[in-house]
Amino acid sequence: MNKKVVFILFIVLVIVLFYIFHLERYLTLESLKANKNSLLIAYFQHRLLFTAGFIALYTLQTALSLPGAAILTLAGGAIFGAVMGTLWVNIGATTGAVLAFVLARTLLRDWVLKRFGPRMEAFDRGLVTDGLSYLLFLRLVPIFPFFLVNLACGITALPLRIYILGTMVGILPGSFVYANAGASLASIQSLSQVAGPRVLISFGLLGIFALISPVYRIITKRKNGPDAGA
C-alpha cells in the first residue's frame, strides 16, 4: 500500500472517528456557553500552549472540512477577545485552507477532477486571469461553501501565494464579525443572530466590489474587440 493511499485512509479514519464519538456535540453554542469559564481558566494558566492548541484545532477542522467553524470562531472571541481572536482564527483557518488546497492538488486531485472537473473550466480561466479578485469574491460571498472553494482552487492553476493572500484577506471580515460576537457571548441566543441579513448583504457587496476589476476588463475587451490588450 503506497503512502498516498495510507494518508487518504488516515484522513477518512479521523473524520469517521469524529462522528463515531459524536464530537460535534462539543461544537454547539450551548456547550460553548457552559464551558466558557473552564476554557478561560485553562487559557490563563497555559496561555501559549492553549493558543497553539486552539490554532491547531482550527487548522484541523478547516483542513478536514469538519463542522464547527462558527462555534470555534465565537470561542476565539470569547477567550482571546475580538482582535486577538480574529488573528488566531485567521491563522488557523488560512493554514487549514492551505492544507486542503494542497491535498486537492496532490492526493485528492484525481477524485476532485472526476467529481467536479467538467464544471471547472470557466472557473479555472477566471482564476488564472484575475485570481485574487475572484478568490476574494468566493471568500466574501457566503453562498459558496468554504470547503468546496478549497477543493476547487486546488485543481486549478491558481498560484499558492495568491490563494494564501486571497484566503487570508477574504475571510477576515467574517472572522471578525463572529469573534467580536463571541466577545459578548452571553448576549447571543443563536448563530443566526450573529450573521443577520445586513451582515450577509454587506459581505455580498464587498464580494461584488472585488469583481469590479475583472468585470471592467471583460467589458473593455468586448468593446474594443478580440484584439484588445494583445
Cell digits of residue 51: 493558543
Confidence (pLDDT) at 230: 43
Residue 157 dihedral angles phi and psi, to the nearest 5°: -90, 15
Q: What is the DSSP string of 174-188?
A: HHHHHHHHHTTGGG-
pLDDT digit string (tens) for 94-141? 999 999 999 888 877 777 667 666 666 666 666 777 788 889 998 998
* pLDDT surpassing 80 at residue 142: no
Cell digits of residue 46: 497555559
Average pLDDT, the chain: 86
Q: Of all helices (H) and strands (E), which one includes residue 122?
A: helix 121-140
* pLDDT surpassing 70 at residue 151: yes
C-alpha 209, offset from chain centre: 20
